[in-house]
Structure 1
Amino acid sequence: MCWWNKAAVAKLLWAITYKKDRLWCKWVHAYYIKGRDVGSTQWPVNMSWPLRKILNSQSLIDSIGGWSAVSKGGVFSTQIMYHLLMGPCDKVSWRRVIFHNKASPKSIFVSWLAVLGRLPTLDRLLKWKIVDSNVCPLCSCMPESTQHLFFECSYSAAIWSSVLACLQFHRPVSQLDNEVVLMTRAAKRTGDRFKLLLMFFAECLYGIWLQRNAKVYTHSCRSPLDLLRDIKYRVACRATDQQRNLLLM
């Protein structure tokens, strides 16, 4: 996200440099630049912090090859600059689980955070000294962590095991890391059952996370069976007719 923010800031600098007809760019030129070169101007002390940040990003542009390196057809490309700043990087093995998934965008986003271990679970909040206890609010048995919440917790395990049985996947429920490996394999398959499995995976993570939050903040949550019905409905709404027939079998 840091590199993307820098690329977005650089786009504003590009507008100041090449889009002088825009009203806000005219204001910057009239009050601060005053006909001088953007890259060599000494900015006044009373300049606002955001504008100073934008103008100081010229050094970053120069370090990656100038405007020509981040432009396409004479237009600044945030994507090109982002990739230049990021440099070469390996693709994660589970990318298909997230990006080839037809589940709802909210579910995809929560799943992405869960796989990265970025959800604010109680074990993390306890380290930050925000809470006093890290006991799982859904089962009240074990410390809450991403691995416990998905799917070591009896609440979430009951939901996911029902999903596997519904789709005729006869295997035990594993914790999140192991399930991600299995979902990665499923993402390479083309059958409707596997596509449904990916959708259910994301919707389950999202639904369980919502109920976890409800338990924390309102001290109540839906039963696993009730939540499973809602998850099936959300999946059915985004599934094809052929995939819906599998859910009715």
Structure 2
Amino acid sequence: MLTQVQEKFHWSKAVWGRFNIPKHSFILWLAVQHRLKTRDRLSRFNIAEDSACLLCAGAEESGTHLFFECSFSQECLYQMKTWLGWQAHTEALQGLLRWIDRSRRSRFQKKVLAASIASLVYHVWQARNSKLWHSSIISPTLLVQEARWQLKTRITCIMPKQIDQVDKEWFESL
């Protein structure tokens, strides 16, 4: 066989979950489809001259690099995983979403993990744009704190009435 058959993966549940803030879902949707206006794409259309990553300057800025090969976004992902007690070894965006879908966690916890990835992708993209347009960069720690606060606030506001005690305790411990 000349080409490897790719397993079909349905990421729509993770992207459009109820716990996700809508603007986070939209940016995640664009990222999953590789449609964000990253510098590698802009340079292909001769819109940008430099395609170096704005956050780490260590590689070409692509969607794959930005989420989560970049040292800046890797640090953010590490802090988010530590906060959630998440042991997934993968760091690629598609791999993370696939891991959530296949994990043996409860449905509630899967939704929280998916919302955390959506929040993290959104905030990394915002940090990248802030560096581009305002020449300012936020630290990974502050970025993750903001993402965590928004995530907890959103989920607390729309928390399901029927939730297992284990899930409720897990969420309250975050």
Question: Which deviates the most, 127-136 or 160-169?
Answer: 160-169
Shift of 1:110: 0.4
Alignment partner of 2:95 out of 154, 167, 178: 178
Per the alignment, residue 216 of structure 1 pairs with 132
Give the secondary structure class of the aligned counterpart of 2:48: coil
Map 1:177-196 → 2, pairs under 5 A: 177-186=94-103, 189-196=105-112
Q: 2:23, 2:128 → 1: CA distance? A: 16
2:154 pairs with 1:238: yes
What TM-score results when the alignment is normalised by the length of structure 2? 0.82
Q: 2:124, 2:48 → 1: CA distance?
A: 20
Give distance in 1, aligned partners of 2:10 and 2:95: 13
CA contact (8 A) 2:20 2:115 kept: yes
Amino acid at match of 1:103: N
Larger Rg: 1
Task: Name the residue aligned to 1:152.
Answer: 69
Higher RCO by CA contacts (8 Å cutoff, separation 6 or greater): 2
Q: Is the 8 A contact 1:207 1:227 kept in 2?
A: yes
Q: What's the CA shift string for 1:1-60, capped at 9, x where partnerless?
A: xxxxxxxxxxxxxxxxxxxxxxxxxxxxxxxxxxxxxxxxxxxxxxxxxxxxxxxxxxxx
1:112 matched to 2:29? The reply is yes
**What stretches of structure 1 of length at least 5 have no aligned partner?**
1-90
Letter in 2 for 1:197: L
Q: Is the 8 A contact 2:120 2:147 kept in 1?
A: yes
RMSD: 1.9
Moved over 4 A (4+): none
Distance 1:152 1:228 in 2: 17
CA contact (8 A) 1:126 1:132 kept: yes
CA distance in 2: counterparts of 1:211 and 1:173, whole angstroms: 22
Counterpart residue number, 1:97: 14
State whether residues 68 and 92 of structure 2, in contact with CA within 8 Å, keep that contact through their aligned partners in structure 1.
Answer: yes
Q: Hey, what's the Cα distance between the residues in 2 that align with 1:139 and 1:152?
A: 10
The number of equivalent residue pairs is 156
Within the candidate set 34, 38, 41, 1:121 is matched to 38
Secondary structure of residue in 1 paired with 2:122? helix
Cα offset, 1:203, TM superposition? 0.4
The offset of 1:230, in angstroms, is 0.3
Q: 1:228 aligns with which of 141, 144, 150?
A: 144
* Cα shift readout 1:131-165 (whole Å, capped 9, x = no counterpart): 10100000010000000000000111111111111
Rounded Cα–Cα distance in structure 1 between residues aligned with 2:128 and 2:90: 19
Q: How far, CA to CA, are the matches of 1:126 and 1:163 in structure 2?
A: 31
Whole-angstrom distance in 1 between the partners of 2:173 and 2:38: 34
Give the Cα–Cα distance (whole angstroms) in 2 for the partners of residues 101 and 206 of structure 1.
Answer: 16
CA contact (8 A) 1:207 1:231 kept: yes
Partner of residue 130 from structure 1, selected from 47, 61, 66: 47
SS in structure 2 at match of 1:239: helix
